[in-house]
Amino acid sequence: MEKRYLGNNKLEVSALGLGCMRMSFGDAPIGTREEMIQVIHDAVDRGVTFFDTAEVYGPYTNELLVGEALEPFKGKVEIATKFGFNLHEDGSPGWTGLNSRPERIRKVAEESLKRLRIDAIDLFYQHRVDPDVPIEDVAGTVKDLIQEGKVKNFGLSEASAETIRKAHAVQPVAAVQSEYSMWWRDPEEDILATCEELGIGFVPFSPLGKGFLTGKVDENTKFDASDIRSRIPRFQGEALKANLALVEHLKALAEQKGISPAQIALAWLLAQKPWIVPIPGSRKRSRLEENIAAADINLSSADMTDIEKILAKIDILGDRYPNDIKKMAKR
């Protein structure tokens, strides 16, 4: 697979990464631990070198899974993980609040290194911006960890342009991770321009709109209570029905090209900038192969113009998150 660089730090990764969260967290898991490890191995075999996890996914179970799966490929892959939450003392899912105090960042780093079975964290993101801790203190703490050899690169997730600039002035930011797809284009307002100006890579999560852009969701789709989509406004009722207009256009374009709607959506993201690296999540080998094949699809300028015309006609209805999560975005 083609390689891309994230940021001026020259963190080289595969053009598509693999988001591992839903292999053990987020809704009812599909498959056993052994099957998820095999999916990760299949990804490596097909050229994926960039894997995304976090301590809060579980908590801890996702890092443990990724660490076990990727131990045989030590030095050949890049692992991104995250800090930024207070977790329940009993290890139950969820969090009790944001926490990016320096002592908490250091604790997470030490424990993540052990779970991931690595000597240094390739990319250490602040998972969500903590309004109670100056971003300069956060960046300074990660800078110290980099100097100590425990972290290689610093990242931010769902941060505002102002926060990115403040952090970058203390410790160069290698990558910013935020939701970005055909049905959530908010990063185009100022985040992408800021990243380009400062030489920062951009990592879109949910590049397939939490499965919406695959064309597999329709107005009759029912989501399990454990699935966050059961609480997301744009997957509900009249909003979902209206939003399906985008998928119908994608399906028509994909049929013309002999590819899938998901591949169109991923190829569109890859065509935006050479320093954008989407991280679609996959728990099935067939989905993994479908997504990886998108890295070889080159959309022409005419294709991109046609897609832009389609997107301009459609107003996406509903928020992308329930209120309890929405309030933590872009600080």
Taking only the tens place, the pLDDT of each residue in 51-80 is 999 999 999 999 999 999 999 999 999 999
Average pLDDT (183-203) is: 97
Per the domain annotation, does 85 fall within a domain?
A: yes
The mean pLDDT value for 37-55 works out to: 98
Task: Give the mean model confidence (pLDDT) for residues 90-118.
Answer: 95
Residue 330 has pLDDT above 70, yes or no: no
Angle at Cα 3 formed by Cα 293 and Cα 5, nearest 5°?
135
Whether 29 is covered by a domain: the verdict is yes
Lowest average pLDDT, out of 1-10, 12-21, 75-84, 160-169, goes to: 1-10
One-letter amino acid of 183 = W
pLDDT of residue 10: 86
- What is the per-residue pLDDT for 331? 78
Q: Which residue has the higher pLDDT, 323 or 207?
A: 207
String of b and e for 46-65 (b: at least 16 CB within 10 Å)?
bebbbbbbbbbbbbbbbbbb
Q: For the residues 242-268, what does the mean pLDDT come to?
A: 96
Query: Of residues 57, 60, 125, 180, which has the active-site annotation?
Result: 57
Report pLDDT digits (tens) over 118-130.
999 999 999 999 9
pTM for the model: 0.96
Query: For residue 27, what pLDDT is reported?
Result: 80
- Beta carbons of 256 and 265 less than 8 angstroms apart: no
More confident residue, 152 or 227: 152
| Residue type (1 letter), 16 | L
DSSP 19-51: E-GGGTSSSS--S-HHHHHHHHHHHHHTT--EE
Q: Name the DSSP class of 100.
A: -
Q: Give the domain extent around 134.
A: 3-326
Does any domain span residue 331? no
**CATH number, residue 224:** 3.20.20.100
User: Is there a catalytic annotation at residue 57?
Assistant: yes
Q: Who's near 147: CB < 8 A, 6+ residues apart?
A: none
The sign of the CA dihedral 311, 220, 225, 57 is negative
Is residue 308 assigned to a domain?
yes
Question: Is residue 293's pLDDT more than 80?
Answer: yes
**Who's near 248: CB < 8 A, 6+ residues apart?**
none
pLDDT, residue 5, reads 97
Report how many domains make up the chain: 1
Encode pLDDT of 164-179 as tens digits.
999 999 999 999 999 9
Structure tokens at 10: 């020259």
